[in-house]
Amino acid sequence: MFRKKCLPLIICIALMLIAACGQNAGGGATATQATAAQTTAATTTAAKAEETTTAAKAEEKTTTAAKAEEKTTTAAQTTAATTAATTAAPAKEDSKPEPLGGQVTVCVFDRGTTGQTQVDNNYWTKWIIEGVKRDLNIDVTFFPIPRSEEVTKLNVLMAAAEAPDICFTYDSNLICRYINQGGLTDLTDLVAQYGGNLKIVLDEEVLQYGRFYGKQYAVPARRNFISNTAHWIRKDWLDALGLKIPDNTDDWYAAMTAFKNENPGKVDTVIPIALSSGSGMGNMINTFTNYNEMTEEDKACLPEFKMPGVKDFYRFMNKLNDEGLLMPDFAIQTDDTKRDAEVMAGRVGHISTGGVIDYPLRNQPGLVRNLWATVPGSELVPYDPFSNPYLNGEHTKFLYPVYGIFAIVPTFSSHAREAVQYLDWITDYDVIKFLQFGVEGEQHKVVDGIPRLLDLDNERKHNSPSNSDYTITQNGVNLYGNKELNRKSWVMGYGEEYSELAEGCYQVGLRDARVPFYFDRPIEAAAKYSVALNDKASAMRNRVVTCPPGEFDGLYEELTKDYMDNGGQAVYEERVQVFRLMQEGN
């Protein structure tokens, strides 16, 4: 255990010397690579992946829509009886022992969204503070951290021993780094003693992903929606050309070529395909990958650039760029601002939204809403065009893992017990429902047995989808563990105007989808190489896509060799070693 006065200096030094290590890090592996390296045993259809619970678990945790709606939450009852500023949280069983009390500071993301409420002092934070005080006798203070600076800010706070008692990160590499520095609290015994709701709602299915080196160093959120990849196309452009929505790669290429040559939108500058540096093309790379030529070990361990078929994917991307089908200067874009502006201006035919399937439907930046305003009658619709010839035309893609953001507790915190109690309280199904839907008639209405949020512009509005900044152990809607209710509620949450599009992109992400392979322990070589390799991989992608076609082969081989010689081979070899140990049950 670090002494508080020594920890800041040690972490500062370590952060300068140690590169990220990760449970899934492949030494420069991107999200595309990570999802591409999988085992056949993990392969499932999306429908099966969505139903991976045993009958016993379904009996324990899944209710019918009627039961979910009939279940009256004390949260809603209490809130309806009081004013917004003093609303009470759900009362707990009186038979429990007298609470130990204490205090806890909790990170909350400040997303900087226009019109958001004050993230650490609003209707929802007041409700939480009051409920936790009453039920646990614990004083809660919220600690804002800019979402865009999550890792940078957290590093600074950890180094100064000023981080809140409960911190959040999506970065498992960062967690490994903190553990190796002695900076995180082992929560194993505390979860066992105080984590009743955590063990029910998250279950071993999710909790296992918060274990590093055999100890519970993190509490992962349950990701209730694992659909990961979607693509969007201007259907009105297709209609103008008499074309159907493409369902294979050849038809997609023909449509993009027609967009460029015919300019069906009659715009000043037509951009058939818009992307940004790093945004990629979703699962398109998976549909070029020849999984039949790889062993299970290869699928799990090979770097992206060494997988059979991947070179052909980048050659095809190079062809698209050479023919003027890609957005100009995409490789120098550092974010999606330019891409989004072109979509909303009505100049773009296709975008891929891997990782955020509903991105065009979200209020910010509001791609569909603003496109409709700019081009009346326009239709940007989800579709699934890319097919894998090695797998009989399968639309190969990978799902999200079942876990989302990680909650961690620094070793210099003297409130680890309160932290786990808070996480457990926030994971109560009644608390989750109230925070996500509020009071019927005030924040939601019930339609066909499903709560649908009202469009609010007052202190009760959410600053993030499903109020996820406060339901921190849940990524997405969770109505008493009922997956069908969750899906319907998510779709209905976009209102009648967007519900068909929401359902469409959700289904695209599930079609022919596979479960990603998971390394159950850190890859230590990533501590030395992963940061540099990630930079090399990003630069390599841009260079091989934008180089003259005649230089592609030589450049691809040169950059792949450089990648492997400068850490890629070391990380690959360690992945192989860990994979074999896992296969042996070690």
3-state secondary structure 233-252: EEHHHHHHHCCCCCCCHHHH
pLDDT recorded at residue 279: 61
pLDDT recorded at residue 331: 86
For the chain, report the end-to-end CA distance as a whole number of angstroms: 28
pLDDT recorded at residue 583: 92
H or E stretch at 223: strand 219-223
How far is Cα 543 from Cα 552, in angstroms, rounded to an integer? 9
Provide the b/e sequence for 52-72 (b: ≥16 CB within 10 Å). Answer: ebeeeeeeebbbebeebbeee
Q: What percent of the chain has a predicted confidence (pLDDT) above 90? A: 63
How far is Cα 164 from Cα 418, in angstroms, rounded to an integer? 12
pLDDT recorded at residue 151: 87
Ordered domains of the chain (ranges, CATH): 111-226+400-481 (3.40.190.10), 231-398+516-583 (3.40.190.10)
Nearest to 203 by CA among 219, 189, 187: 219
Give the strands of the sheet with 380-383, arranged side by side: 271-273, 348-352, 231-234, 380-383
Asked if residue 233 lies in contact with residue 380, where contact means CB atoms within 8 angstroms, the answer is yes
Residue 409, CA distances (Å) to 21, 24, 169, 530 in order? 19, 21, 11, 25
Ranges 132-146, 176-190, 215-229, 457-471: which has the least confidence: 457-471
Mean residue pLDDT across the chain:
84
Based on C-alpha coordinates, what's the Rg of the chain?
24
Span 338-397, pLDDT tens digits = 999 999 999 999 999 878 899 999 888 899 999 999 999 999 999 999 999 999 999 999
Q: Residue 38: pLDDT above 60? A: no
pLDDT recorded at residue 96: 60
Structure tokens at 374: 């700019």
pLDDT band of residue 11 (cuts 50, 70, 90) is: very low
Q: What is the mean pLDDT of residues 536-553?
A: 95
Q: Residue 159: pLDDT above 80? A: yes
pLDDT recorded at residue 111: 85
Which residues have a Cβ under 8 Å from the Cβ of 191 and sit 6 or more positions away? 198, 199, 207, 216, 219, 420
Half-sphere exposure in the Cβ direction for 256 (13 Å, CA): 24
